[in-house]
Amino acid sequence: MPALSFVHHYQPGAAPGAPTLLLLHGTAGNEHDLLPLAPELMPEAGLLSPRGKVLEHGMPRFFRRLAEGVFDLDDLRLRTAELADFLTAAAEHYHFDPARVIAVGFSNGANMAGSLLLLRPGALHGAVLFRAMVPLVPDPLPSLPRTPVLVSSGRTDPIVPAAETERLVTLLRDAGADVTLAWQAAGHHLVKEDVIRARDWLRLSFAQSGKGEHR
Ligand code: MLT
């Protein structure tokens, strides 16, 4: 069995076959950051929450950046592959269904989730992207047929301008994803409405007999 190469928290789902939320924290966060959101988002889901391996002045991230919003694309590709491989290894180790993994990422973690969608299109069943940017534009675009993605952005986010959100939504839709865009009266930080919107969207998109059952 391959070693699990990320420091992480794992919690099994309430029932066999329950989806697993892949929780991806923001810059300077860790594997504990998003755990309190999970019972509000999808109480029955299993949780896999890795800690980003890249350190920026001691602060964990999922990939290197050269400046705010300027990403080291070689490192991003490498780290995306590494995280996708970890996901496969963790599914084998903990016996969860790798076809039912839904990413929930915030900021740097949302950018990593976007990169997983774009570079490893089979890795995620869906994704909630809080305050996400375009991580990279692959050529050719992957095929993400009807993959449910929620993009939840802040109207006054100083790090992610509205045009960047629109670019991300267009990119994912061009790849075939079923993207819902939610605007929040907020900046770069999460607000209660993000969580409520994500909870409702997850219920709608991944109900046992719902449209999330397409893979
Ligand atoms: C990133 O580096 O992924 C974005 O700039 C968001 C962040 O500040 O982490």
* Residue 115, ligand 1, Cβ within 6 A: no
CA of 176 to the centre of ligand 1 (A): 25
d(CA 68, ligand 1 centre) in Å: 6
Active site residues: 107, 157, 188
What is the predicted pLDDT for the residue at 209? 42
Condensed to tens digits (0 to 9), the pLDDT of residues 18-59 reads: 999 999 999 999 999 999 999 999 999 999 999 999 999 999
Cβ of 189 less than 6 Å from ligand 1: no
Q: Read off the pLDDT of residues 90-119 as tens digits, 9 standing for 90 and up.
A: 999 999 999 999 999 999 999 999 999 999
How is residue 190 annotated by DSSP? -
Looking at every residue in the chain, the average pLDDT score rounds to: 95
pLDDT reported for residue 14: 94
The pick from 24, 27, 83 for probing ligand 1's pocket by mutation, whose C-beta has the most ligand atoms within 8 angstroms, reads 27
Which residue shows structure tokens 């009807």? Answer: 146
Q: What does the DSSP assignment read for 39-86?
A: HHH-TT-EEEEEPP-EEETTEEESS-EEETTEE-HHHHHHHHHHHHHH
Torsion angle of the four alpha carbons 12, 32, 75, 115, in this order, in degrees rounded to the nearest 10:
60
- Please indicate whether residue 188, judged by its CB atom, sits closer than 6 Å to ligand 1: no
Report the residue among 55, 131, 159 best suited for mutation to probe ligand 1: largest number of ligand atoms under 8 A from its CB.
159
pTM, 2 dp: 0.95
